[in-house]
């Protein structure tokens, strides 16, 4: 290991890790170990909506459909075939050769149970937007079902392929009770039909998975190649990099740009920068629920927007695949209009707006964030240049999410990956349809999104999404920041393909 590389990640970190190198990682033990800095206490894609569980969702569970990233085509997965009966009804013929990880056979009862459980709002699915469009499921035969919709929902196939995973019938029935008297569905032992099965969950530390030797044949996911997957939580980036270089892990991402470039120059690992469907945004407390009234003034929100050099952040911190965005959605999503009110970088205009709002010397407030501290620190630096002193409150995602739901953050810097669904309904409709994530609850925006989400006419959808996005932008309920581009860093022994939807398909990875 060269002196430059030691300097990149910190000599102390390397020495510490080298002394306790985890022998179970890597090609020799047929174990792919991947890591992020976020703790995972719940291993269920409906009751944990972190990106880590989205990734594990596709490895451990299957849906009825599969989206081919190359063609954009929706292919049968647990289904053999499907058809639209009418605008409110989807019909599926199911495979009869699928077995759950617990040995039970997959059939129509499992689809009916899963759909009816997750579409019931009382059961508390975290990202209810993903499933609320389903009214119920109906069994037509042992391997034939219909899914009924509340209203026409053109994006149904995208959700069925990316966010609706099948559980065995009765899966959640035995969930333990929480202190508030409600069932803790996230505590149920994970059981899926996917390429890998979860064999152990150590909350906050790791989730161990093994290859499903009975995985369905001739399916679009193919057969898993690597024997074991292990997800580990490692809080410090330097420690992650040290473990990668000394054999403790095989794969990591979200590596800061400068460190990724330094690692790439050394040639010890594979480094890639790839686009994702994740976006960064600032959400304002526009109605003063947090007790901080500054951001109820649109002039103050505009001052913040003009103060932040988003182009500089993308260029210097995020990576070449990142772009600044004007709308509260990802440019690759259907309906994401780009011709909306834009907020250019103009510190002089920001200062002028603050003076007009009665704050010529600025003011002090708390800004909340959970991801890529350096990005938020860059925002804080820009705000300081116009007299706004932002105190960073950096925390785990779930803790911050709960504060947002309670309306306790005056401004938060967060991200959203849309479950990698290429439709505006997966982001704009989630955040601005009047739910607990909606900072504005604007009736006009809500109405436009409702129309766009349920129309079967693509042009009507586009028109109403644009009207909603324009009002969100013009009123600065959000300041859309940029698309995420991730630096992936992984072992030279690993044959791994990055994708543009931020879902690493570990089930397609193999050893060189």
* Angle between helical axes of 237-246 and 257-266 (0-180°, round to 10): 20
- Kindly state the tokens that stand for 251: 């794969």
In the block, tokens 């704050």 appear at: 359
In whole angstroms, what is the distance from residue 237 CA to residue 502 CA?
Answer: 19
Q: What's the rounded mean pLDDT across residues 17-33? A: 72
- 250 and 226 Cβ atoms separated by less than 8 Å: no
**How confident is the model at residue 299, as a pLDDT?**
98
Interatomic CA distance for residues 41 and 28, integer angstroms: 29
Distance CA 304, CA 353 (A): 9
Burial level of 175, CB count in 10 A (0-12/13-18/19+)?
middle
| CB burial of residue 290 (10 Å; 0-12, 13-18, 19+) | buried
pLDDT at 497 over 50: yes
Tokens of 36: 């992020």
Q: Which residues contact 85 (CB under 8 A, 6 or more apart)?
A: 91, 146
Question: Between vectors from CA 112 to CA 161 and to CA 507, what angle results, nearest 5°?
Answer: 35
**pLDDT band of 7, cuts 50, 70, 90:** low
Residue 4: is its pLDDT beyond 80? Answer: no
Task: Say if CB 327 and CB 370 are below 8 A apart.
Answer: no
Contact 325, 357 (CB under 8 A): no
Tokens 């892990």 appear where? Answer: 249
pTM for the whole structure: 0.84
pLDDT tens digits for range 87-112: 999 999 999 999 999 999 999 999 99
| Alpha-carbon gap, residue 26 to 494, rounded angstroms | 9
The secondary structure element, H or E, covering residue 209 is strand 206-211
pLDDT tens across 416-447, in order? 999 899 999 999 999 999 999 999 999 999 99
| 480 strand-pairing partners | 281
Task: Give the whole-angstrom CA distance, residue 205 versus residue 41.
Answer: 8
> What pLDDT shows up at residue 9?
53
Beta carbons within 8 Å of 231's beta carbon, 6+ residues apart: 34, 35, 36, 40, 52, 56, 206, 207, 209
Nearest to 411 by CA among 245, 292, 320, 234: 292
Q: How confident is the model at residue 500 (pLDDT cuts 50, 70, 90)?
A: confident
Tens-digit pLDDT profile for residues 344-399? 999 999 999 999 999 999 999 999 999 999 999 999 999 999 999 999 999 999 99
Residue-wise pLDDT for 136-163, tens only, equals 999 999 999 999 999 999 999 999 999 9
Q: Which of 378, 252, 353 is nearest to 298 (CA)?
A: 353
Mean pLDDT (whole number) for 243-271: 93
Which tens digits make up the pLDDT trace of 191-205?
A: 999 999 999 999 999
Mean pLDDT for the stretch of residues 454-477 = 96
| Domains of the chain, start order | 3-37+182-271+489-495+503-511 (3.40.190.10), 38-181 (3.90.76.10), 275-485 (3.10.105.10)
pLDDT confidence tier of residue 10, bands split at 50, 70 and 90? low
State residue 11's pLDDT score: 40
Given a cut of 60, is residue 13 above it in pLDDT?
A: no
């Amino acid at each position: 290991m060269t002196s430059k590389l030691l300097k990149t990640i910190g000599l102390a970190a390397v020495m510490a890790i080298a002394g306790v190198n985890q022998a179970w990682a890597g090609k020799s033990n047929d174990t792919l170990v991947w890591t992020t800095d976020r703790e995972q206490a719940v291993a269920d894609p409906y009751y944990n909506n972190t990106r880590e569980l989205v990734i594990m969702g596709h490895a451990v569970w299957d849906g009825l459909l599969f989206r081919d990233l190359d063609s954009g085509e929706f292919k049968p997965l647990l289904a053999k075939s499907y058809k639209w009966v009418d605008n409110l009804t989807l019909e599926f013929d199911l495979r009869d050769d699928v077995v759950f990880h617990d040995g039970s056979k997959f059939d129509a009862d499992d689809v009916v149970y899963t759909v009816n459980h997750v579409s019931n709002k009382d059961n508390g699915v975290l990202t209810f937007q993903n499933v609320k469009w389903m009214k119920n499921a109906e069994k037509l035969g042992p391997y034939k079902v219909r899914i009924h919709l509340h209203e026409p929902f053109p994006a149904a196939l995208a959700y069925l392929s990316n966010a609706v995973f099948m559980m065995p019938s009765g899966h959640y029935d035995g969930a333990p009770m929480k202190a508030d008297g409600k069932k803790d569905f996230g505590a149920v032992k994970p059981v899926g039909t996917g390429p890998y099965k979860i064999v152990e969950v150590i909350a906050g530390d790791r989730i161990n998975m093994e290859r499903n030797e009975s995985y369905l044949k001739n399916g679009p996911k193919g057969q898993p190649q690597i024997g074991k997957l292990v997800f580990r939580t490692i809080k410090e980036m330097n420690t992650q990099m040290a473990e990668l270089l000394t054999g403790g892990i095989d794969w990591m991402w979200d590596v800061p740009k400068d460190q990724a470039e330094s690692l790439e120059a050394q040639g010890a690992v594979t480094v890639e920068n790839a686009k994702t469907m994740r976006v960064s945004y600032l959400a304002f407390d526009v109605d003063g629920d947090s007790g901080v009234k500054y951001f109820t003034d649109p002039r103050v929100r505009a001052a913040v927007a003009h103060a932040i050099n988003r182009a500089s952040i993308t260029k210097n911190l995020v990576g070449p695949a990142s772009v600044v965005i004007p709308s509260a959605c990802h440019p690759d999503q259907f309906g994401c209009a780009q011709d909306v009110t834009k907020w250019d970088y103009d510190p002089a205009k920001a200062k002028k707006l603050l003076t007009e709002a009665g704050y010529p010397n600025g003011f002090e407030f708390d800004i909340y964030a959970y991801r890529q501290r350096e990005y938020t620190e860059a925002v804080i630096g820009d705000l300081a240049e116009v007299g706004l002193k932002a105190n960073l409150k950096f925390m785990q995602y779930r803790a911050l999410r709960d504060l947002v739901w309670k309306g306790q953050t005056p401004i938060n810097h967060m991200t959203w990956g849309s479950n990698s669904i290429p439709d505006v309904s997966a982001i704009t409709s989630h955040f601005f349809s009047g739910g607990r994530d909606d900072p504005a609850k604007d009736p006009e925006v809500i109405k436009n999104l409702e129309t766009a989400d349920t129309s079967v006419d693509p042009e009507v959808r586009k028109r109403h999404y644009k009207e909603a996005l324009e009002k969100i932008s013009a009123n600065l309920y959000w300041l859309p920041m940029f698309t995420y581009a991730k630096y992936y860093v992984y072992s030279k022994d690993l044959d791994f393909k990055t994708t543009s939807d931020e879902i690493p398909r570990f089930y397609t990875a193999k050893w060189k």
